[in-house]
């Protein structure tokens, strides 16, 4: 089995933990890539599995690095909350032993990804593959922007406020959740539209099919208004720019870990039924 070990060395302790785990991984697999810069293009790397160490941000970075050749990801949580990175370092040897002996068949769950494109005067000016969300954000914290939403070319409404988030189910526990959006099960095929501080109180989050084409047209902007994909600025936006979002032709692949169910993760990370556990709050 060929594996990539990935993460971000800017997070304290990640590179040290990766070096500690490397000989353990090499007992079961060949390490063909060891990248903790978060910058390398890994779309052409021949591997069977990506072991990602860090938090959810490290997983988003790894998905971006892999591009249109998404490998199954074994996510090891070295961060704080971590809805995607849910495996502890101590569990890695046992999981790798099972994968080496039994393979990945039946262990991989696929999740929706999207392609975001920005058009200006009819020309493509920027595009990015994403996993969590596209957010159009006001450049000023004191002024509203207006965004026209179109779904399959039909005008839906105009949102006035601090911005708008269009997220996948995986991204529903990220920025959208902070903006008051609902939590969607990660394996659903849907997009979630969440306004940020809308001026009209009747504007509420909307869930629709992933098979539709979503467009956000900038009807009123402020200097610095930007399209942000998975926490990174894709480009600044001007009046009449259009941000198009549709499901990608590739899926994000997560290795399912026994005893780490969807609702157990939510219960522990969000402190449902009691206080946050020590591990979740750390």
CATH 3.30.930.10 for the 2-107+256-281 domain, yes or no:
no
Tell me how far the alpha carbon of residue 247 is from its chain's centroid.
Answer: 13
Q: Does domain 113-249 have CATH number 2.60.40.10?
A: no
C-beta of residue 44 within 8 angstroms of C-beta of residue 69: yes
pTM of the model: 0.89
Query: Confidence band (pLDDT; 50, 70, 90) for 227?
Result: very high
Give dist(CA 6, CA 65) in Å, integer: 10
Give the model's confidence band at 274: pLDDT under 50 very low, under 70 low, under 90 confident, else very high: low
Rg of the chain (C-alpha set): 20
Residue with token string 């591009």: 67
Q: Tell me: pLDDT of 11 over 70.
A: yes
pLDDT value, residue 280: 46
Positions marked active-site: 56
Question: Range(s) for CATH 3.40.50.10330 in the chain?
Answer: 2-107+256-281
pLDDT of residue 279: 52
Structure-model confidence comparison of residues 231 and 271, the more confident one: 231
- Taking only the tens place, the pLDDT of each residue in 163-192 is 999 999 999 999 999 999 999 999 899 999
Check residue 282 and give its pLDDT.
46
Residues of the chain with CATH 2.60.200.30: 113-249
Q: Is residue 227 within 8 Å of residue 126, measured between CB atoms?
A: yes
Question: What share of the chain in percent tops pLDDT 70?
Answer: 95
pLDDT > 50? residue 281 = no
Q: 14-26 and 92-102 are packed helices; what angle lies between their axes, rounded to 10 degrees?
A: 40
Residue 158 CB burial class (10 angstroms; 0-12, 13-18, ≥19): middle
Whole-number pLDDT of residue 30: 96
Q: What is the pLDDT of residues 104-136, one digit of tens each?
A: 887 899 999 999 999 999 999 999 999 999 999
């Amino acid at each position: 089995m060929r594996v990539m070990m990935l993460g971000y060395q800017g997070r304290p302790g990640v590179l040290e933990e990766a070096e500690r785990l490397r000989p353990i991984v090499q007992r079961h697999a060949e390490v063909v890539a060891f990248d903790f810069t978060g910058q390398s293009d890994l779309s052409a790397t021949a591997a069977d599995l990506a072991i990602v160490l860090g938090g959810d941000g490290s997983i988003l970075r790894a998905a971006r690095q892999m591009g249109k050749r998404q490998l199954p990801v074994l996510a090891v949580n070295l961060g704080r909350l971590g809805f995607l990175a849910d495996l502890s370092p101590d569990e890695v040897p046992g999981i790798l032993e099972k994968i080496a002996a039994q393979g990945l068949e039946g262990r991989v769950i696929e999740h929706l990804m999207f392609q975001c494109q920005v058009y200006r005067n009819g020309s493509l000016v920027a595009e990015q593959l994403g996993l969590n969300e596209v957010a159009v954000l006001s450049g000023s914290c004191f002024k509203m922007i207006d965004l026209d939403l179109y779904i399959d070319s039909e005008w839906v409404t105009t949102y006035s406020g601090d911005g708008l988030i269009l997220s996948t189910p995986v991204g529903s526990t990220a920025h959208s959740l902070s903006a008051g959006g609902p939590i969607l099960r990660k394996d659903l095929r849907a997009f979630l539209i969440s306004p940020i501080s809308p001026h009209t109180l009747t504007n509420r989050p909307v869930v629709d099919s992933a098979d539709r084409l979503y467009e956000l047209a900038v009807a009123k902007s402020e200097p610095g208004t930007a399209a942000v994909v998975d926490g990174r600025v894709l480009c600044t936006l001007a009046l009449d720019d259009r941000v198009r979002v549709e499901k990608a032709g590739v899926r994000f692949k997560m290795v399912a870990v026994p005893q780490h169910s969807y609702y157990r993760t939510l219960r522990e990370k969000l402190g449902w039924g009691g206080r946050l556990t020590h591990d979740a709050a750390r």
